[in-house]
Chain A
Amino acid sequence: MSGIEEPVSEEEVLQRLKEALGEALLDARIAGKRRVFVTVDREHYRTAVVALKEMGFDFLSAVTGVDAGDRFEVIAHVGRRVSVAVKALVPKDDARIASIVDVYPAAFFYEREAWEMLGIHFEGHPKLERTFLPESWPPGVYPLRKEYRQGSERG
């Protein structure tokens, strides 16, 4: 293992993602140095992540779940030099998305966290169990959802 063999130019990453995904790429932009944001629908989330892996990205930084009001978003942050954020849109009434644990084993804990905090179900995850919240936490209550209010929220 010597050096990091990843694409280093944002344009190249964007170009190759466009080739791999074509029409499925809903939005793609370069946001500053070494930052690429792409948006796909949930069916193509896995495809995009696999495309990145095949491009030479072997590092997964994090998986973020976002409650964006009318929908959930799952964001996979991939890459060492160029940080590519692959954003997938997930409808609220059917919060399911394909797991990427088999592509990036590092997603194991990150997806568990997103599931616990937002209730997004990752299909194909080997062990979607409690990790962060206490055992006494009521099932089906997802603290990072917007409808979950805190007791002492100040104005």
Chain B
Amino acid sequence: MRLTAENLSARRGEDLIFKDISFTLGAGESLVLTGRNGSGKSTLLRTVAGLLRPETGRVAWTSDGAEAGMRAAEACHYLGHRNAMKAELSVSENLAFWKDCFGDFSGGRGISVGEAAESVGLGGITHLPFGYLSAGQQRRMAFAKLLVAWRPVWILDEPTAALDVNAESVFTTLIENHLAAGGILLAATHQPLGLQNAQELKMTGFAGVMENVW
């Protein structure tokens, strides 16, 4: 089970944000991206998640059961800046929808909606409309979305923004459990997540304009 990136480069508009990034992550391994604002952390994460087309290079997922040529994105959970939850629907409706839509990836099972809300510490309020929750609570529920369906790779973009210390420790515990279960983590963050033996990749940003094109 391996997530591989080879010679990735990507651009935003005409600017080359990064180039020639390669890494390999096996079961239980994690990679934390650091760097100042605009250094390309989010861009790299979106490229790995298949939401941006890489300028060069490729992202590949290899494991025993996987068919050749499968998109790596299908093995990933992506938690971006936005929570991907509807304010009009209740928390449980939101989570149940995503549970149904995601389906379980081979090699694991998601937990139920109630248990997922319980494990982010908000068990009693799943019947409330998502819009009634505070920003921190919304973020926690968005995190619960990762638990309802199994994906080996978690791609987290600033997961702990808008969270207090207490909730951060809950997140760290959940991430450690995921890694212990053979998961892979790829995260961008300002705050240290408090993970042991995580690899770190420092993004510098702006690798130059596309001078070879024009």
A binds B: no
